[in-house]
C-alpha cells in the first residue's frame, strides 16, 4: 500500500510522519525504514527504526531512487514499512513525475508486502486526480 501525506510547507507533515513511524513500531514484528533528505529529525525517531539520510548518497533521479529502495529491500526481507519524508527533496522529481513514481512503488509494495508512506509539500489542488486514492487524510 502507498499513502501520501500532502499539504503545504509548514503544515506539520514531518511531525505526523515521524509520529506514524514511531507508533507503527508497537504493531509490527517486522522492520521499519525511515528515509529523509538530511539528519535533522533523526533523533525524533525511535532507535529501533532504520534511518537513512539521503544526503549521504548521490541519488538524484527517480530511477536511481527506486533502485536504491530496491537495494534496501533486498538487504532486509523483514521490512514491513518504509516512510519517506520530503519526497521532492530526497530525489529530483516534480509533480508531473509523481504518478509514475507512485505506480512503481505500488508495484514494489505488492511484490514485497511493504507499506510506503510519503510526505509531499504542495498545494493539494495540484496533485493529479489519479493519485486521489493515495492521499491519507
Q: Which residues pair with residue 36 across a beta bridge?
A: 53
List the domains of the chain with CATH numbers: 2-122 (3.40.50.300)
Quote the CA–CA distance of 58 and 25 in Å, as a whole number.
Answer: 29
- Indicate the pTM of the whole model: 0.92
Q: Give pLDDT tens digits for 45-80.
A: 999 999 999 999 999 899 999 999 999 999 999 999
Q: Give pLDDT tens digits for 92-110.
A: 777 878 899 999 999 999 9
Q: Which residues pair with residue 84 across a beta bridge?
A: 35, 118
User: What one-character DSSP code corresponds to residue 3?
Assistant: E
Amino acid at each position: 500500500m502507498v499513502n501520501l501525506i500532502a499539504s503545504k510547507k509548514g503544515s506539520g507533515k514531518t511531525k505526523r510522519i515521524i509520529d506514524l513511524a514511531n507508533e507503527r513500531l508497537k504493531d509490527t514484528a517486522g522492520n521499519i525504514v525511515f528515509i529523509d533528505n538530511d539528519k535533522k529529525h533523526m533523533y525524533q525517531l525511535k532507535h529501533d527504526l532504520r534511518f537513512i539520510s539521503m544526503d549521504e548518497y548521490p541519488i538524484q533521479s527517480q530511477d536511481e531512487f527506486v533502485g536504491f529502495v530496491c537495494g534496501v529491500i533486498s538487504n532486509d526481507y523483514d521490512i514491513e514499512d518504509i516512510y519517506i519524508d520530503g519526497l521532492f527533496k530526497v530525489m529530483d522529481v516534480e509533480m508531473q513525475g509523481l504518478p509514475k513514481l507512485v505506480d512503481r512503488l505500488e508495484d514494489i509494495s505488492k511484490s514485497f508486502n511493504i507499506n510506503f508512506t510519503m510526505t509531499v509539500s504542495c498545494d493539494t489542488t495540484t496533485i493529479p486526480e489519479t493519485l486521489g486514492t493515495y492521499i491519507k487524510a
